[in-house]
Structures are given as structure tokens and as C-alpha cells.
Chain A
């Protein structure tokens, strides 16, 4: 199966998970850009984030739970459990004065801080709400695609597992019924795909393999693509570089020798990363049965919208095939 065969952008909810520091937010932002280019009304959501997705896309983050428009068909939103709960209570509790009294009471604050899994559940609930929401004025779905920039692995598993746990505990009540709907959305391969992001290095790959197995065996969630980020791909011949290194002494000027030595050591560094990446790409291919999207390392002084666009291009090339590709190129 190729990455394009997953038809990611035909699904409603694209979850982007992985170890901390591998570039989840970047991949989520890139997916958002590609999705919007394909004409899908797209919302990127981030959990407990400091508005990083918004910053990467070059806009100011909006308050929790509020969408900030990035461009046509693309918005970004930060989510936070207690804000989502307050919003939810606002829906079921129309009298503002009572609502305020509840929200500001000490017992409520204790309750929110202490109730296990409540924040996770409310966050997933809010995502569900956005994924299913119908715009009142147009009568259409507010978003075609919701991209979720999930927290780091351990926390992701808590978020993704919470609806199931809540359903098991509270089968009969409102929470039980609502969490059933969340479980239905999360486990429906027509609507949802859990994507993993990793770099091709030992530690992130270990964690990715572990998470892949848990997603498949414990949570049974539908899988999308594996994004292998920051890949180095050079063709330097290390033996040839070493030969060159021995010839550096032929240069008379000390500064020239220093520069050439640096040039060669950077080539060695690049060759080293390329070798590491190849080793772990092979391991990923053996152990993680998800179509892999290879995302090149982005060499730049800063990391911002321009770099996200560069990565979105790699993502688009891998995910969008045939007629859709034509369409995406036309809009790009």
C-alpha cells in the first residue's frame, strides 16, 4: 500500500502522534496546508500547546477553543481540557449567572483538577464536536478535515484511550453514551486515521514501534501514514572524503586548511546521518506496517512558514496522486 492509497484527506479526523521533539507540529501544519490546497475546509487543532501550530503558520494564536483563520479553508485552534469543559457546561447550562457561579466555585476547580481523565475526555469531545459540527448559516459541515497535533506518545495514548476507558466505567450514563460516540469516531477507518511521526534514529524508532503495537493491539485504532521526518540523503563516499582529508596538508595556507577541514567534516556528518537514517528506515519498514512518507531534512537558519511549505510539498507529493494531484498543483 502506498501513502496515497490511504486517502487521508477523505477522512474527517487526522491524528498526528509521536515522540516529543520529532516534528509532530510541523507535520500537522503541513497536512493542514495540503488539505486546504485540495479544497477541504481544514482545522488544525493542538492539545495543551502554547499556540505553536499557529506560530508555525505565521498567525497569532487565538484563545483556547477558538479558531484562528490562517488562510482560505485553513484555521488553527488550541485546545485545553478545562476550557472545553467550561464550553460544554455552557451548552447544557443556558443560565449565565448559574454557569459563572459553578465555574468560579472552589469545588468545581478541585473537581476539574482532580477528576481522572476528565481533561483528556473533554478535549477529545471538543475535537469530536468540531469534526461533526454543522455550520448553522450554510447548513454544511464546518470542517471537512480536522488535523489533531497530539501530545507526546505517553500522553497521546492517554488521550486516545480515554473515551474507551470512560465508556467502560460509565456504561449507562450520559458520559457512557457520549464516550461511545467518541470511541465510534476514533475507531472508524472511514472517518479517522492515526498517523505517526518519527525521525529515523534509534530512540524515536524504539518508541514508534512500541506505540504502533499499542495502537494496533490495545486500542485498535485505524492507522494512516508513518511520517519519517528529517531524513538526510547524501551520496558522499566516506572513503573518498577520508582520502581528501589526507590531502589537506598540501594546502599551504592555514586558513584554507581549516576551511577545507570543516567542509570535509560537514560532509562526514551528512554521510553519517544518511547512514543512520537508512538503517532505521529499514527497521521501520520491517516492524511498522504503515505506508511511509519520507520527509527530507530542512536545512535552514530558522524554522517558519517557508520551511513548513517545503515539508508540505514533500507530504503532498507522497499523499496526493492522480486527479487530486492535478487539482492540488493547480491551486498551489
Chain B
């Protein structure tokens, strides 16, 4: 069976994906720490509104994409953490790609942009991937571990570059721009009833002055993303490269597993390589140890050590409850594993009774993540 160590050794980019709340950030940080301890120059990057990686690494500071932190306890410069501030992702994109200071300022000052930039499709996801491409091309790191943004759907991350390219597609932008900047608008209305209808409605809906503002925004944007399409192609090349491994992070809850199963199928369909699945927060199956031991027998056994019947009762009750959790987790995980290919590494991490927010905590995960 393939282990996670092998997966790390064979790849230069590891992308940790999964739905929110399954311990993705902690897992990514722990994986990065493992590689750094093995002597590889490692970068772990995340987009993190809740400063989770900062917590996990015991790092307080948090900033935009220039904030790089070298982690204590690892040989000099072997582990670097980078945090992207998701709030500024679009500003960053505009700053980066604006052909001139004038266009940049015009976009940033646009009323439409200011109020709605947070809801433009997938900017933070895209910025993470673009950053990843740059780091990868720079060659300063042997391994880059990416903690994907906390989207509800793990797939959002993979589809963001495509969606953003569609958003900035010149053919689309032209529709927004045309009515107020081109004489052909009037003829369009007659030629294409659908378009005419839509724009008439748009005018009614938004008011002409707002539409002019929208139109201006798209005009400024259209110059901004010359050559965006080739960049997106490079992004997908990297995601599909044999040097890139996807690690799916999940937990044994039913809804998480449903989503995880869908993710596995889609990743495969998109030609990307799922190399490992990490199950966090797993309640171990205890039934085997208890085989044939009925509740009554358990109480008799415990009362040989414990004098107070109330305590015996409580201990046995608690054991029963955790056993139920363990049985459920085991059944669901077994079912999930059956649909995985044999060459996918699968590891289970127990449900720790402490929050992991220190390098020592991350290290303590290694015995499970990298169990022989």
C-alpha cells in the first residue's frame, strides 16, 4: 500500500482540498512540516479568513501575500508559511495586472467595483493558484503545500480559474460595454431580440447611470486582462502535471463523505491526480477489543477496580457511546474506501482531544499521517 511519505517524495506540489471544517489547514501544515523535517525546502500557502494557519503554526502576524513567516523549530528557512488575505484578493489582482496607474485607479475608484468586488467569482482561489504557479516557476522550493480556501464545495478551487477567465472573457465584456460605447447597440436591438430584451430590462432594472458605471468598469477591466487566457491554461497545466498531487481531506461524517466522493470523481474527470485521502477526526473502532463482552460483564469487570457503582455505570455508558461513534465511522469509511483506486494512499487521524495550534501539535499528527 502507498503511504503519504511516498506521495510527498514523488511530487513537488501538494494540494490539500476538501469541504470546510474538516481540518484541512492543520493537515496541510503538518504535511509541510514533515517535508521540512526531511530536509526539503518547503512552502505552505493558504488563503485564510479565519487566520487558521496562523493559529496552526503558532504565528500571530497575518498579512497579504508578502507576509512570509519562517517557523520556529525547523532548520533555518526550510519551512515557510505564506498567507493570502482574501479580502484584498481583487485589489491585488488589479494592482498586479493594470497596464497603467491611471486604469488601476479608475477601477479601484469605481462605485460598482467597490461594492461588489467581494462577490466577483473566485478571486482568492485564482490568486492562490497564480501565486502557486509563480512559486513553482521560481524554483526556490522543493515542495509547495497548498491549503485551499474554505469553500463549501472543494471543487470551487479547481474551477475558479476557468470561471474567472469566463468572467473576463472579452466576448462577454463586450456585451456589457457595447450599449454605451458603440453605435452598433441600436442595431443590435433589432437584429437580436434576446439581447435587445435583456438590455432593455437591464436599463429598467439598474437605471441608466448605474449601467454606465457598470459599463465603464468592464471597459477598464478589458484592458487589464490581456493574455489572461494563456495564464489560465498554464494554471491547468500545473494542476494536471505529474508533479502535482491532490490530497483530499475529509472527516467520517456522512455529508462530508458525500461531497468527498463527488470530488474524487470530478478530479479524475478533470485529468488531475488524486494521490491520497486523509480522514481526520476518526473515532476508532473498539468493538474488536470488546468481542463477546456484554454490558453486564463489562460492569462486573470494572467493579473489580472501581468501588463506586455510579462511576462504573458512567464509565460503561461513556464507553458504549464512543463505541457507537466508532462503529458508525468505521462503516462509513469502509464504504468510502471501496470506491477509491488502489493506488490512492489512505490515512486516518483520530479525533484529538486538544486543538492543534503549535508546531509540536502538528508533529504529533505525523504518527498517524505517516504511519508505516
Tell me whether B207 and A173 are in contact (CB under 8 A): yes
Stretch at the interface among A4-12, A110-118, A139-147, A310-318: A110-118
Q: Does A22 contact B (CB under 8 A)?
A: yes
Q: Which of B117, B166, B205 contacts A114 (CB 8 A)?
A: B166
Cβ-defined partner of A158 (8 Å) among B119, B150, B306: B119
Task: Give chain A residues whose Cβ lies under 8 Å from the Cβ of B153.
Answer: 48
**Complex: A288 Cα to B210 Cα, angstroms:** 38
CB pair A21–B19 under 8 Å, yes or no, is yes
CB distance from A278 to the nearest CB of B (A): 13
Q: Which residues of A contact B119 (CB under 8 A)?
A: 116-117, 120, 158, 162, 165
Residues of the A chain whose Cβ atoms lie less than 8 Å from the Cβ of B175:
107, 110-111
B190 within 8 A of A: no
A65 adjacent to chain B (CB < 8 Å): no
Query: Is the Cβ of A19 less than 8 Å from the Cβ of B50?
Result: yes
A44 to B205: give the CA distance in the assembly, Å: 29
The reply on A323 being an interface residue by CB < 8 A is no
Tell me which residues across on chain A come within 8 A of B50, comparing CB atoms. 19, 153, 203, 206-207, 210
Note all chain B residues with C-beta closer than 8 A to A48. 152-153
Decide if A172 touches B21 in the complex (CB within 8 Å). no
What is the CA–CA distance of A151 and B314 in the complex, to the nearest angstrom? Answer: 38
Alpha-carbon separation in the docked complex, A99 to B86 (Å): 38
Give a binary string over B101-124; 1 marks a CB under 8 Å from any A CB, 0 the rest.
000000000011001111111000
How distant is A301 from chain B, measured CB to nearest CB, in Å? Answer: 4
Which residues in B have their C-beta under 8 angstroms from that of A173? 203-207, 210
| A276 and B253 contact, Cβ closer than 8 Å, known pairs A263-B298, A269-B322 | no
Residues 121-165 of chain B: 1 if any A CB is under 8 Å from the residue's CB, otherwise 0? Answer: 100000000000000000000000000001111000000000100
Interchain CA distance A267-B322 in the complex, whole Å: 9
Do the beta carbons of A270 and B172 come within 8 Å of each other? no
Shortest B361–chain A CB gap in Å is 11
Which A residues are CB-close (under 8 A) to B59? none
Residue in B21, B201, B254, B301 whose beta carbon sits within 8 Å of that of A19 in the complex: B21
Known: A50-B259, A299-B322. A170 touches B20 (CB 8 A): no
Interface residues on B, range: 35 or more
Say whether B49 contacts A266, CB under 8 Å: no
Q: Is B256 part of the contact surface with A, judged by Cβ < 8 Å?
A: yes
Q: Which residues of B lie under 8 Å from residue A201 when comparing CB positions?
A: 355
Q: What are the residues of chain A within 8 A of B118 when measuring CB–CB?
A: 158, 161
User: What is the interface residue range for chain A against chain B?
Assistant: 35 or more
**B256 closest partner in A (C-beta):** A21
- Nearest chain B CB to A78's CB is how many angstroms away? 13
Contact A259 B324 (CB under 8 A): no
- Find residues 300-332 in chain B having any chain A CB closer than 8 Å to their own CB: 301-302, 304-306, 311, 314-316, 318-319, 321-322, 324-325, 327-328, 331
Question: Do the beta carbons of A102 and B197 come within 8 Å of each other?
Answer: yes
**Given the complex, which residues of A lie within 8 Å of B270, measured CB to CB?**
none
> How far is A210 from B206 in the complex, measured between Cα atoms in Å?
33
B228 contacts A by Cβ under 8 Å: no
Provide the main secondary structure of the chain A interface: helix
CA distance in complex: A235, B315 (Å): 10
Residues of chain B from 61 to 83 with CB closer than 8 A to chain A in the complex: none
B286 at the interface (CB under 8 A from A): yes
B293 on the A face (CB < 8 A): yes
Cβ-based interface call for B241 (8 A): no
253-280 of chain A: CB within 8 A of chain B: 255-256, 258-260, 262-264, 266-270, 272-273, 276
Q: Contact between B289 and A258 (Cβ–Cβ < 8 Å)? A: yes
In the complex, which residues of chain B have a beta carbon less than 8 angstroms from the beta carbon of A52? 255
Q: Determine whether B343 belongs to the interface, using a CB cutoff of 8 Å to chain A.
A: no
Q: Which 4 A-B pairs have the closest CB atoms?
A: A21-B21, A20-B20, A272-B353, A173-B207
Task: Name 17 extra pairs, CB < 8 A, besides A210-B50, A262-B290.
Answer: A20-B19, A20-B20, A48-B152, A110-B169, A116-B120, A162-B119, A169-B111, A169-B115, A170-B210, A176-B210, A203-B55, A206-B50, A206-B52, A259-B301, A262-B286, A267-B315, A300-B324
Chain B interface (Cβ < 8 Å from any Cβ of A): 19-22, 49-52, 55, 86, 111-112, 115-121, 150-153, 163, 166-167, 169, 171-172, 175, 193-195, 197-198, 201, 203-207, 209-210, 213, 251, 253-256, 258-259, 286, 289-290, 293, 298, 301-302, 304-306, 311, 314-316, 318-319, 321-322, 324-325, 327-328, 331, 351, 353-355, 357
Residues of A within 8 A of B (CB): 19-22, 25, 48, 50, 52, 92, 98, 101-102, 105, 107-108, 110-111, 113-114, 116-117, 120, 151-155, 158, 161-162, 165-166, 168-176, 201-204, 206-207, 210, 234-236, 240, 244, 247-248, 250-251, 255-256, 258-260, 262-264, 266-270, 272-273, 276, 299-303
